[in-house]
Structure 1
Amino acid sequence: MSPSPSEPAAPDHFAALGQPRRYELDRNGLESAYLERARLLHPDRFTGAPAGERRRALEASAALNEGYRVLRDPVRRAEYLCKLSGIDVDSSEPQGGAPTMSQEFLVEMIERREAVDEAREAGVSALDRLRAEVEDEAETVLDDAIAALAAAEVRRAAEALVKRRYLQRLLDEIDEASTESP
């Protein structure tokens, strides 16, 4: 069945793009499905249509584009799978289900931010070493999240994804320090 702007929105990005609701996806299949649907829903195909239909085509096209952006990005796809399972890692509200990080982990992040400051003072090579260390850890944490999703352990996956966000912020700080470092 081909998409139409008059049809109700698909229940999720996976359904909108004809993909199974799981982490592992065929990237070529995802891209092919996206291109086919994007062609069918392109707003230019509806230039002579009534205003309401043009608006729905534009909305459907925008939703399809967002779905494709989410599913082709490994981190966003994992976060989206958690959200579909009732745990919104973006939420700061208790009802959103996002895990809270332990006090121990938060203290560790504070210490690591201090390590960024120390590396900034030590120079670019120290920042590069720290970046490599944090990148490796972020990759390992994402692998943990993916394994947890495969085992249907969504809470554990969400915890790993929140931890990865902290690590990504740390990487951003390292990058910022690198641009400031002489």
Structure 2
Amino acid sequence: MAEPKENPFLDDPEEMEEEFDLDAAMEEDEAPADRPRVNVDAIMAERDEMRDRLMRALAEAENVRKRAARDRMEAEQYGGSKLTRDMLPVYDNLRRALDAAGEGTDQDGVIEGIKLTLKELLNVFNKHGVTLVSPEVGDRFDPQIHQAMFEAPVPDTRAGDIIQVAMEGFMLHDRLLRPAQVGVSSTPAN
């Protein structure tokens, strides 16, 4: 029979016996004096706390992602509202120019040019989600989209009916850019 080979890492066979004794001591659940005892409850509590912190961090990251997506969508839809508000007086002035010029004058070419410019401006507005709020005389006053400039008792009307449109309003998608400025009847019900 072949002789057992000695462990090349152990020079002294007595060290091998000491190592065996150490293994035996560990098997018997006797921790060496220099090894601290592990508190399983403390480790589990720390694990639970870390799991809770991780879940909260993941939830916060998801909320930030959703908020950023919503902000990006709103910026795309409503980002041009300041420019649009600045363009509304251009529309108003073109409309006034048409109202001031009468049909059948010697300025028909100029009037036609103003009409085409106004039409093009409205097309650009529509392309970008801007719609005209143009109430008619006799419509009901809606404080969500109209601004009452004055009240006056007018025969054959009900209180809250629009009796005059001073200036048209505009919406950007579902937001009011400028309310339509109207006069409202204050005639009491009979």
TM-score scaled to structure 1, two decimals?
A: 0.24
Normalized per residue, which structure has more helix? 1
Tell which structure's C-alpha radius of gyration is larger.
2
Normalized per residue, which structure has more strand? 2
TM-score scaled to structure 2, two decimals?
A: 0.23
